A and B are shown apart, each in its own frame.
Chain A
């Protein structure tokens, strides 16, 4: 039987990285995610799996170290929190344009500016709409438990290599600092250069051998035609991801007349709100997007006929609510309820907000 341990979400990320055969982690300390690198340093995976762990001089350096490692076909990752992610956006754009796989964790804190170290979901736009320059996207996973923090590192790498795309885990200090039961998976071996080539093709800079032309991993294309073709290729990839990789979870949605949509930490609060509503005879359900890009548009659209109203619950001023509104195209009222600056609503507050809008 798999070992069950009590771990913080952040510790779960570190263990998930080691156990899924991650080759390298590059990071810079920032609250509330420093436990990720601290746990890795404590675990010393370089002595067991050979995984490289390095404290970089800045978030700019960490994301570019990820760039270097990813070009070699290695499973590499970094983690940071909001201001650090802002610094990484240039690098993320390069990674996306160069079609490189990697996992980037954002344990979001309250912004803008230096903000607060408390939980927030204010980086939704940055994560889902690109963040850096140019028309690019990253797959965005939103874990809502320590177990998912652990599991999604491996899942993230699988998706990242399948599509050659950066995968972001968007979470916050509530999930990062909370301890829960985590069921550990068996240790996966790291891949050799030969295995990388046989599994993923020979695009990586593993050293130019006589049997193939040199690989130059670049995002530069000065000719407009060439560059447009590169962009079309990226867009086709995003369309394919949208078709195949939507993940979500529903609670009490079969007969729901009212729907909460929430991801990550707030989805946990909303689960309790749904339980409370059902106890009062209110037909409330919850849809929890697990992938924020691609967004579960189709599932929300499928529910339109049964719904009298949707409430987007977020730790932001209202960002995901835009995507819900785009999905329903005005066919169902969509309202927003959120708290800011690290404030976390109680299940009762969420239920009251829902009632205030829809159940007079």
Chain B
């Protein structure tokens, strides 16, 4: 395990270095655009305007990339992710405020859809040949074919506008104050439903399909036939035999997915005005805010790597046979 940890750190470093170079090579020169703007508004020569623009966006592309990288690494060692060039506040401050919201909504929806989807999938594998099978497949195909933004707007229209059951936007009502008080917690719950549904509806289907496929390969096993012949209750077989053998790869992909989800929920967060990482990711890409972009990408790298590590750890705990 220690070796894996070290390897993961190495992965993080490689990814971080890649990302560092990548974001700086992205086309779309903000500095140039701003300089042209300043040139017109302030009546300056281009060179002057460019110097001024450098100061305004706190970024100097003329500095060699290697020296920028060294500065970045040494800052990183002191847990300093730099200052956002557009918002002019420490990147850590933005991450600290947005991360909990994204974690809240992703964990809630991933947990919900995983539990429901995997149960459904196992049950369908067990009852192969009944109407459940095509129904589940159809559900999964349909919900996944609908683009996520479209699903979000549909949910908004039906549950928010037509039925008026749920609040339309935000993470909590502006009339309440965040803290440990009942009105806030209630409004938090109400506001979470729409985004959780938007995430979960397609995810349930894909978990169910994966679970069904994994379980099907296990179902052929002889010991299951034995268990069935022994007259064990289906629920027990499902849990003790099927579950145990089929769940390992599923958990592995759950952990992987969690990591990926943390980075990319841009559309749904914008749709519901949710104060998570997705909003800041979209903004930072639009303004080429390198420090913020890098901070966000670093966070999702860490999440993915942590997800993978915990997946491995978990599968070792659950399935002793995969220990070497």
A and B from one assembly? no
